[in-house]
Amino acid sequence: MFSQISHIDQLRNVVSSQEEIREMDIGHGCISFCYMISGPETFNTPEARECRGITFDSFGKVNSRSLHKFFNVNEREETLVQNLDWTKVVRVMIKRDGSMITSVDSLDGIKFKSKKTFTSDVALAATKWVENQQDQNVMRLCKYLHSLDWTATFEWTSPTARIVVGYDMDELQLLHVRNNTDGRYLNAAIIKHVANWFSVKHVEEPTFDVPKEKLGEHLIELAKTLEGIEGWVIQFEDGNMVKLKTAWYINLHHAIVFVRERDIVRLILDETLDDVKSKLVGEGIDMTEILRIEQDVMNDLSGLRHTVDQAVMANVGLDRKSMAMKFQSHELFGLIMKAFSGSEPDYVGYFEKNIMKEKYGLNQINMINTVGEVE
């Protein structure tokens, strides 16, 4: 199911050709791989599905293995509700409406990062919360796990970082524990035991009074009416997972209220299009127009990266002043100079300011039901 990764080159050799996945030096002696934006083909290999923040130390060894990329029920062929073996479900977790935070055994000790960086607002807030804990329980838990070559992944929620669901206080809840080399997930019972041992709160796991083979149908129906939660993450025996969000959450997130090209582009950039796909597939809506727009956005961003990378690679021997003079009138000057300096250019930000409104209009798209109805 998961890739055995003992050295960075094993991952690098597979995903280096995927322009939407970036290898980044994020400081503290760490190299991280994460997708910048994703399309239908981005996660078609086990290695690519690891590029959700997996991090390596200066020797090329995995020092943090966050959750692999997984999908919504009904989002892809393999996650259609009828194609999942619900009898093999081993864990159902409440999906908290926050941000994933992962522990890292860095050159400077245990650090905490979001998918891409140590310095995002949520990573800094979670780090401060951990450091201010008088009993240091979370830090002790992470040190213990990393000494055994395992990574802890948490969900950070805060009243000051509300998405849809509100929370009364800052909190870091343990979601998963994962082996750095082979990607195994620790057994749920052991996770609870370790969490209780260190007095660290773990994510809630509800139970449902239905036969396992009926669990999928039950959750689908429950998701139509249940309010107040984002949904659930469902894990199977092989470690694979799917997520299922409630209609209440999706509607509040405005993820389904769109008919214009630019609205779809915004969902792509905000990484919320996956929620929409699963809902539309479940309702029998043809996805052709949405997938076309998604591919166009991917091509636009890839084109920006290609132009910038070519400019930098062709001028490796120049000093910064000469580089700036050469490209001062280039429309991608800011991106080129950022890359030339060794930093990651903000391609998405440039796209939003300079391409999105020009190329993607407010024209409506057809939401055609596969049985012939126009939505």
210-224: pLDDT as tens digits: 999 999 999 999 999
Q: Cα(243)–Cα(231) distance, rounded to whole angstroms? A: 7
Q: Cα(297)–Cα(269) distance, rounded to whole angstroms? A: 9
Q: Is the pTM of this model over 0.85?
A: no
Amino acid at 374: V
pLDDT in tens, 127-160: 999 999 989 999 999 999 999 999 999 999 998 8
167 vs 112, residue with greater confidence: 112
Q: Are 136 and 110 in contact (CB under 8 A)?
A: no
pLDDT in tens, 259-312: 678 888 988 888 888 877 777 776 667 788 888 899 999 999 999 999 999 999
Q: With bands split at pLDDT 50, 70 and 90, how would you rate the model's confidence at 372? A: very low
Q: How wide is the angle at C-alpha 353 spanned by C-alphas 352 and 357, nearest 5°?
A: 75
5-14, 107-116, 162-171, 292-301: which has the minimum mean pLDDT? 162-171
Domain boundaries, the chain: 70-197, 261-283+285-359
Residue 120 CA: distances (Å) to CA of 34, 100, 113, 216, 220: 14, 12, 8, 36, 34
* Beta strands 71-72 and 241-245, pairing class: parallel
User: Strands, E, within 58-98: which ranges?
Assistant: 62-64, 71-72, 89-95
- What class is the 70-197 domain? alpha beta
Q: With bands split at pLDDT 50, 70 and 90, how would you rate the model's confidence at 258? A: low
Q: Cα(312)–Cα(317) distance, rounded to whole angstroms? A: 10
Average pLDDT in the chain: 90
